[in-house]
Amino acid sequence: MALTWLISAKSVRSRTASIGVPMSQVPVPQVLSPMLELRREQMFPTLDPEDITRLERFGERVRFAAGERMVSTGEVSRGLFVLLSGAVEVSQRTHTGQKNITTYGPRQFLGELAQLSNRPSLVDANATEETEALVIASRRLRDVLVENAELGEHIMRALILRRVGLLETGAGGPVVVGIAGQSDVLRLEGFLGRNGHPFQRLDPQSDSCAQTLVERFHVTPEQLPIVLCPNGQLLHNPSESALARCLGLVSPINPDTLFDVAIIGAGPAGLAAAVYAGSEGLCTITVDCRAFGGQAGASSRIENYLGFPTGISGMALMARAYNQAQKFGVDMAIPDEIIRLRAMADQGFALDLANGEIINTRAVVIASGAMYRKLDVPNLAEFEGTSVHYWASPLEARLCTGQEVALVGAGNSAGQGAVYLAARVKKVWMIVRGPSLEATMSSYLVERIRAQPNIEVLTQTEIVALEGEGRNLSTLTLHNRRTGETTSKQANHLFLFIGAAPNTDWLESSKIARDAKGFIRTGEEAGRDPLETSIDGVFAIGDVRAGSIKRVASSVGEGAQVVAALHGYLARTRQPDTEVEPILAVETL
């Protein structure tokens, strides 16, 4: 059903009247936070005349009449628009109407990260007077960023900051209508948040606009959540893949394209390999079944990564790497799931996707990481998605603000999660099987946990039972392994940081050697060069590799190292009648 009443370009007043919401009740979000206001000049820079001259060879001059639509929300735009004359008004769509962002004038440029990735736009743009612009297509925009370092830096920074501004308001993205805390609502919010895509959530129990939508489309409580996509489609509790395709996050893969390398997994290792492979001229595609960032992307703060003395959130670090890879022309297929790897007779490989598509590639890098381990408690699944969580992001913190929560684990991820939650909840019960934290956690985190008055560490303790009503957790039963005592704790939310198992089940039909725990053997263990698996041309890096060090820095290092091995393999297998220019390595991380 096309929701033209929601996404038409009419005024806010006529739009809100059409769904029965008085203008006096319509909240208008602030476009920029104070932090972004301080960086407004970086978000909306004015280029020097010399910059315009440099850009001329990358685009074409196009004229637009006054009132002409140049960019539409939900549609792929022509690229980056560098204004030579005239003026363009940019606005964003909210569930209540149109909100102006800014007006561009001569020597300014219109675009954000959607133009870099050639995905549907998140804003509308209309020429307010006769306008001439230099239109730079997405593929040529990448050339600009690489070939003109200083100018490319200004443009890239502006594109990123503009996306951050859109993320703050949620405008331009889908509207998720559902009850706060519902498992499928949390699932969709988590998916959109992890993919860096703006969205708005409306709760029909507290928002009159949401209630009006539910009544208008005769949606029963059992049918929630619904999602309204910018292109006008209405989805009933969609899968993540269906939502991604509605939003244009993924595009069909051309079966005639032969990639130099396909990277499976977009965590730190996979993204590092993508950045280095792309920067060195390899035709590269990166695939992940859910979102970029992997487990690192869910980390609230990483403080021991080189070059970030004040720390950085995992999502921020991984988003930078993701954008960096796209800057170097890496294709992203996220979310797309690979279910099978097949070696072909011509020395290449075919990767079968769950949606029936096929990726043809000369080499494969497996960076599929690991899956979260789960407690051995019979009814755990009943509370997953609502009360049991495997990472501590702002979304989960919002759910349990002011409450008492339990957290299981004694590694660095557990420590980071406990400290992050402690600033937002009433109390954190930290449940540890071992006798202390020191043997498994970095000392700086141990000291920080001890300094938090609302974190209590229960050592030599494990959870043996969960109780609750419906899908909402209420009580934990704990067993002290030293004394044998059993006690109960009240908690509505449980966070699990108890390690991970290798994500290699999809390799069952392949001949890739794995160890007893399922991790992929490489190097001497596989009778190959370092990082190469038992199959020539297939490499493994990061947490999925047997013997790997479970640190972000080591994963990034392996991602860089594997590209050198890729060059060697591709050189050996390249057809003798094809000559290539030698490629100089470019340090990018």
What does the alpha-carbon distance between residue 510 and residue 342 come to, in Å, rounded to a whole number?
7
The pLDDT score that the predictor gives to residue 419 is: 96
**Residue extents of the structural domains in the chain:** 34-169, 173-247, 258-371+502-573, 380-498
**225 cis-preceded (ω within 30 degrees of 0):** yes
CA dihedral angle for residue 102, residue 104, residue 110, residue 111, rounded to 10 degrees: -20
Give start and end residues of each alpha helix (H) in 309-468: 314-327, 380-383, 394-399, 412-422, 443-451
Regions of the chain with pLDDT less than 70: 1-32, 95-96, 575-589
* CA pair distance 282, 532, nearest whole angstrom: 18
d(C-alpha 589, C-alpha 572), whole Å: 27
> What are the angstrom distances between the C-alpha of 226 and each of 129, 180, 201, 235, 533?
39, 13, 10, 6, 44
Of the candidates 494, 437, 445, the one whose C-alpha atom is nearest the C-alpha of residue 465 is 494
Alpha-carbon dihedral angle through residues 536, 542, 548, 549, given to the nearest 10 degrees: 160
**CB neighbour list of residue 83: distance below 8 Å, 6 or more residues apart:** 104, 105, 106, 107, 108, 109, 110, 131, 132, 133
Distance from the Cα of residue 259 to its chain's centroid:
23
Please calculate the CA angle 320-138-362 and round it to the nearest 5 degrees: 75
Q: Is there a shared CATH topology between the 258-371+502-573 domain and the 380-498 domain?
A: yes
183-194 and 240-247 helices cross at what angle (nearest 10)?
A: 50
Q: Which two tokens stand for residue 15?
A: 């739009």
| Residue located via tokens 């590269």 | 284
Cβ within 8 Å of residue 206, ≥6 positions away: 180
Residue 427, beta-bridge partner list = 404
SS3 300: coil
Task: Show the beta-strand stretches assigned E in 75-206.
Answer: 80-85, 88-94, 97-104, 109-110, 124-127, 131-136, 175-177, 200-202
* Nearest-angstrom CA–CA distance, 458 and 68: 65
How confident is the model at residue 212, as a pLDDT?
Answer: 87
How far from each other are the two terminal CA atoms of the chain, in whole angstroms? 45
Q: What is the model's pLDDT at position 34?
A: 75
Helices (H), 85-137: 113-117
Q: Does CATH number 3.30.565.10 belong to domain 173-247?
A: no
CA separation for the pair 50, 58 (Å, rounded): 14
| Coil, helix or strand at residue 214 | helix
Cα angle 44-157-259, degrees, rounded to a multiple of 5:
130
pTM: 0.87
Whether omega before 335 lies within 30 degrees of 0, making that bond cis, reads yes
Interatomic CA distance for residues 126 and 310, integer angstroms: 41
Strands (E), 288-381: 331-333, 338-343, 349-353, 358-366, 370-372
Q: What is the C-alpha separation between 580 and 570, in angstroms, rounded?
A: 11
The CATH number given to 34-169 is: 2.60.120.10
CATH topology of domain 380-498: FAD/NAD(P)-binding domain (3.50.50)
pLDDT digits (tens, 9 = 90+) for 87-133: 999 998 876 678 888 999 999 999 999 999 999 999 999 999 999 99
Which residue in 111, 113, 138, 125 sits closest to 72, CA to CA? Answer: 125
Q: Phi first, then psi: what are they for 195, rounded to 5°? A: -95, 10
How confident is the model at residue 371, as a pLDDT?
87
CATH number for region 258-371+502-573: 3.50.50.60
CA nearest 533: which of 515, 554, 517, 557? 515
* Whether the Cβ atoms of residue 533 and residue 539 lie closer than 8 Å to each other: yes
- Judged by DSSP in three states, 109 sits in strand
